[in-house]
Amino acid sequence: MYERVKKILQDYACVDETLIRPESNLMTDLFLNSLDVVNVVVEFEEAFGIEVNEQDIRSFVTVNDIVKYIEATVSHPQGVNV
């Protein structure tokens, strides 16, 4: 799961893959602004066949936050409480 998330982030953010680590901050390390985060979430929704609640997007601070959310959503498609 992490590798798929990393690839999407790398394609979208156009940053060197070495900058994308589980602990990387989306805004300060990967230079994404809030609109970028929303747009990349759309990419995750399409890639993983999920729907991310708008409220949940606010909890995405690091790459690992996204990975955990997607893993939980894929495991329990009825909904995720983050």
80: in domain: no
The 10s digit of each residue's pLDDT in 1-10 is 999 999 999 9
Cα 66 from Cα 64, distance rounded (Å): 5
Range of the domain at 53: 2-75
Please state the rounded mean pLDDT for residues 61-67: 97
Instruction: Report the CATH number at residue 32.
Output: 1.10.1200.10
39: in domain: yes
Report residue 24 as tokens: 């990387």
Question: What's the structural domain count of the chain?
Answer: 1
Query: Does the structure show a pLDDT above 80 at 36?
Result: yes
Please, are residues 57 and 65 in contact by the beta-carbon 8 Å criterion?
no
26: in domain: yes
Which single residue is written with the structure tokens 């955990």? 68
Report residue 46 as tokens: 């399409």
pLDDT at 82 (0 to 100): 47
Cα 20 from Cα 65, distance rounded (Å): 13
